[in-house]
Amino acid sequence: MESFVPALAMAVVVFVISVVVLRKVMPASLVRLYDRLPSRRRTVFTADDIRRRATDVLNRLADELSGTNPGDVDGDLYERAGLARSEGERALDSSRLTDLIGALALARSGLDDLRVAAGRSHVRYAPCFFNPLHDQATKEIAYPIGAGTVSVPACRHCHGDIRRGVRDLDAVPSDTRPGEPYFLGDDKWAVTGYGALVDDLPTALFRYEQARRETTS
């Protein structure tokens, strides 16, 4: 019994010292480990799946538009929802991945606008600038593009990745520049950020196409 007591006391001392050391060492170690781990599973960009999702939401938007009396709702938002439907259906005819993602973004924004117009919701579509297939944007963050820095809306995952210095973000890939994100281009999706950079996505796209036709004619 007498030999057991010193051994027990020594074990307690070792345990206490270990706890103190771990409290000092673990946070920094965990932070370094966390920085090396992916923040989430990366998006699998499958054109057929995105087309199906966009078609489903566009069909819901069409059904709700046909069942809504324009005189009973906010007229501007109702027209915006209708334009989102037509622009979304046009984008859905494309074979480009960026356009199909745009069709889904338009469908979601149109559906949200219509529901806000009818007083059934107070939440409007707020896409993540880097990838509209992510959760909706929660806050803005400064992000370097080219020689400058822009403030863009991001979902919580992208926001966390940027804060931690992650360079390989889970962004929509470019159709024309392999290995680059879509937003480094100069097409309508890069200009609008799928609605992250403009308040009225369907109208912005309509005006973009108008200006492009005038330039090329």
The three-state (H, E, C) secondary structure of 181-197, written as one string: EHHHCCCHHHHHHHHCC
CA distance 205 to 25: 52
pLDDT per residue, tens digit, the chain (217 aa), is 455 445 444 544 444 344 344 344 444 444 444 344 445 568 888 999 999 999 999 999 999 999 999 999 999 999 999 999 999 999 999 999 999 999 999 999 999 999 999 999 999 999 999 999 999 999 999 999 888 999 999 999 999 999 999 988 999 999 989 899 999 999 999 999 999 999 999 999 999 998 988 888 7
Residue 216's alpha-carbon distances to 62, 103, 128, in angstroms, are 32, 24, 31
Q: Is residue 25 part of a domain?
A: no
25-41 per-residue burial string, b: 16 or more CB within 10 A, e: under 16: eeeeeeeeeeeeeebee
The per-residue pLDDT for 43 is: 85
Show the tokens assigned to 149.
């820095």
Whether residue 15 lies inside any domain: the answer is: no
Position 89 scores a pLDDT of: 96
Hey, which residues does 8 pair with through a beta bridge? none
Is residue 20 in a domain?
Answer: no
Q: What is the value of pTM for the model shown?
A: 0.80
Task: Give domain status of residue 37, yes or no.
Answer: no
Q: Long-range contacts for 147-152 (Cβ within 8 Å, ≥24 apart)?
A: 152/193, 152/196, 152/197
The dihedral sign for the CA sequence 51, 42, 105, 63: positive
Domain that holds residue 142: 47-216
**Per the domain annotation, does 107 fall within a domain?**
yes
The number of domains in the chain is: 1
Distance of alpha carbon 86 from alpha carbon 68, whole angstroms: 17
CB 163, CB 141: distance < 8 Å: yes
In a domain, 5, yes or no: no
Which residue, among 132, 147, 45, 62, has the nearest Cα to 96 in the 3D structure? Answer: 45
170 in a domain, yes or no? Answer: yes
